[in-house]
Amino acid sequence: MIELSNRKKTKTMWVGNVAIGGDALITVQSMTNTDTRKVKETIRQIKELEEAGCDIVRLAIPDMEAARAVKSIKESIQIPLVADIHFDYRLALECIRNGVDKIRINPGNIGEEERVREVAQMAKSSNVPIRIGVNAGSLEKDLLNKYGSPCPEAMVESAIHNINLLEKYNFDNIAVSLKASSVPMTIEAYRLMSQKTTYPLHIGVTEAGTIYKGIIKSAIGIGTLLAEGIGDTLRVSLTDNPVEEVKAGKEILKALNLITGGIELISCPTCGRCQMNMIPIAKEIERLTTDIKQSIKIAVMGCAVNGPGEAKEADIGIAGGKDCALLFRKGQIVRKIPENSIVEELLKEINNLCE
């Protein structure tokens, strides 16, 4: 495992059996978009997220019926479960009673101090961590009056105030997030927060958008922070199937060599030198290998400029020619493949490596 050498050391917390912070690997989270009160549907989606490699999953808890549903859901899944609480602190208490592994509260709308105290006391007695989830779109009114509009400084002040409030009641099993839909605001808020605390940071760009733009914004925001050593767990927020959030999060971590496993596909953008139709070949190889868990580097290259060099560096790869491609395995030329057999033959070689 290759790790970024500058990662900031934070406190370790446990969410169920998953560690966040300290020396733990950076985890990928997601959130269901089902109605939590529809237990079977929610369990089905969580299992899909588990299969995709999600480490921790979060549920919206809009009312007491949803809070009570946590018990049945928890009994049917393997990964840790987080309850997302807004407005009504009693929902947090009910979720803790029903076995949730972590609580997320929003400081801007959870209510008066006495309510926070009750949540902290029950969470402490049950060994349930709390994420202080600051969102630029729902900051406390006094901070908006002070700063005039959402900004990194206001977000950090909100987080620090609520850390102090939890610590006042001897609660320090805390993670923090400071999310905005603005990438620059998100990055700066986490930079400031990282200087002020050793609590683990849950990073992400909130309300990032649909899959194309949302992944771009998330990759820039999350990737920048991770490259600077900031962040212990992440969520990519997309207006799409949450499985896509997990896939995107894993790819961000792979791109920074923070996790291994699965296929790394290297493919050229194609240009006028390419003498074969590489785009559908690369897409089909990606589609057919998406469920492979082993660490395999595949190169799909279109011409003789960079193709042979990249293909040789990969575990398996092709370098295109005129109506054909050279197949490489572990740096050695294996044979020439006609263009109409490239996908089939390359897939056979990949499967052989997996055996």
CATH hierarchy code of domain 263-354: 3.30.413.10
Q: In what order do the strands lie in the sheet with 81-85?
A: 174-179, 130-135, 102-105, 81-85, 56-60, 27-31, 233-235, 202-203
Range list of β-strands (E), 137-280 = 174-179, 202-203, 233-235, 263-267
Confidence of residue 1 (pLDDT cuts 50, 70, 90): very low
Cα(154)–Cα(107) distance, integer angstroms: 12
CB 61 within 8 A of CB 36: yes
pLDDT score of 76: 95
Mention every residue, 6+ apart, whose C-beta is less than 8 A from residue 339. 276, 277, 323, 324, 325
Q: What's the pLDDT score for residue 349?
A: 83
CB 177 within 8 A of CB 204: yes
Work out the pLDDT band at 279, boundaries 50, 70, 90: confident
pLDDT at residue 313, as a whole number: 74
Q: Phi/psi zone of residue 260: left (φ > 0), alpha (ψ -120 to 50 degrees), beta? A: beta
The per-residue pLDDT of the chain, averaged, comes to 90
CA 261 vs. chain centroid, Å, equals 15
The sign of the torsion formed by the CA atoms of 303, 304, 307, 312 equals positive
Tokens, residue 101: 């592994």
Q: What is the mean pLDDT of residues 183-201?
A: 97
pLDDT band at 305 (very low <50, low <70, confident <90, very high): low
List every span in the chain annotated with CATH 3.30.413.10: 263-354
Least confident of 42-51, 142-151, 301-310: 301-310
* pTM for this prediction: 0.88
pLDDT confidence of residue 318:
84
Q: What tokens appear for 103 in the block?
A: 């609580």
Cβ atoms 235, 56 nearer than 8 A: no
Per-residue model confidence (pLDDT) at position 5: 56
Of 233-242, 245-254, 290-299, which gets the smallest average pLDDT? 290-299
List where CATH 3.20.20.20 sits in the chain: 13-255
Q: Does domain 13-255 have CATH number 3.20.20.20?
A: yes
pLDDT class of 232 with cuts at 50, 70, 90: very high
| Tens digit of each residue's pLDDT (9 = 90 or more) over 242-254 | 999 999 999 999 9
CA angle 221, 203, 213 (to 5 degrees): 40
- Asked whether residue 183 carries a pLDDT value surpassing 90, the answer given is yes
